[in-house]
Structure 1
Amino acid sequence: MSEPLRGVIVSHAAVAQALLAAVTVITGVRDALVPVSNDGCDTGALAERLTQAIDNKPAVLFVDLPGGSCLTSSVRLARSKTDVAVVTGVNLAMLLDFVFHRDLSPADAARRAAEAGSRAIRTPAA
């Protein structure tokens, strides 16, 4: 790919901004992710925010929940674009993986990030 993928964190309230801040502190990377919140907007306004965030570039949308307005708007956008993928259940581990593998296709980056996020979910012994 000529340009690194863009990641868009799509969430309720300020979750996206908080995840972005954590990724930036850990990695120092500032240009890989864009936060989008559904706070104070209807689905039409959320769709517009997402469209602006991807800026007609290949992207992976990292959504907080596997249902609701954030997912619905993200999937609708991805269906209208050939180079946009969606991952639900966003967590810090998947975003960290994504930041360092932005040279992949959206589908491959989404798959890889989802696997990294899943591996990070554990119930450690006390």
Structure 2
Amino acid sequence: MSGLAGVVVGHANLAAALISAVEQIAGAEHGLVAVSNTDCDRGTLEERILAAVGDRPSVIFIDMPSGSCLFAAMRRLAGMPGVRIVTGVNLAMLLEFVFHRDEGVDEVATTVADAGARAVGLR
């Protein structure tokens, strides 16, 4: 597998819970890291996100299309080479990431966003 990282940023325990579900389905080798906004201010959240990204090409998965998690990621990562931010994270996106993380960051970001959109439906 490549060094492409997936950083899941969310409120409370959402990121860890989503990663736990990925592990149950796909196994432990997934390249995903959870970051929570629990008990931190904006600066601390920004630092948590930066630490999770490190110097690796990364797809950042944000739980909401607006709010503290997105603002922290955008403030520190927007325009950074090798980093793409995708909002509205869901399990389908993360599974797609796991199975395509050997591709380039731009391709993976597009693939996971498409998979996430296809997973939302009304029945």
Give the TM-score, by structure 1 length: 0.92
Contact 1:43 1:69 in 2 (8 A): yes
Aligned partners of 1:62 and 1:15: how far apart in 2?
Answer: 11
Structure 2 CA distance for aligned equivalents of residues 14 and 89 of structure 1: 15
Per-residue CA deviation, residues 73-107 of structure 1 (Å, 9 max, x unaligned), is 11223225211100000000000000010022222
Q: Work out the CA distance in 1 between the residues paired with 2:100 and 2:122.
A: 27
- SS of alignment partner, residue 100 of structure 1: helix
2:100 matched to which residue of 1? 101
What's 1:30 paired with? 29
Please list every run of 5 or more consecutive structure 1 residues that lacks an aligned counterpart in the other structure: none
Moved over 3 A (4+): none
> For residues 75 and 113 of structure 1, what CA distance do their matches in structure 2 show?
19
Length, aligned pairs only: 123
- Identity in percent: 47
Query: How many Å apart are 1:31 and its aligned residue?
Result: 4.1
- C-alpha contact 2:58 2:105 (8 A) present in aligned 1: yes
C-alpha root-mean-square deviation of aligned residues, in Å?
1.4
After the TM superposition, which residues 1-126 of structure 1 pair with which residues of structure 2 at under 5 Å, given as runs? 3-79=2-78, 81-124=80-123
CA shift at 1:4, angstroms? 2.9
**Residues 29 and 99, structure 1, Cα contact 8 Å, conserved in 2:** no
Query: Aligned with 1:26: secondary structure?
Result: helix
Q: Which runs of 5+ in 2 are unaligned?
A: none
Distance 1:114 1:80, change over 3 A: closer
Rounded to whole Å, the distance in 2 between the matches of 1:53 and 1:121 is 28
Amino acid in the other structure paired with 1:119: R
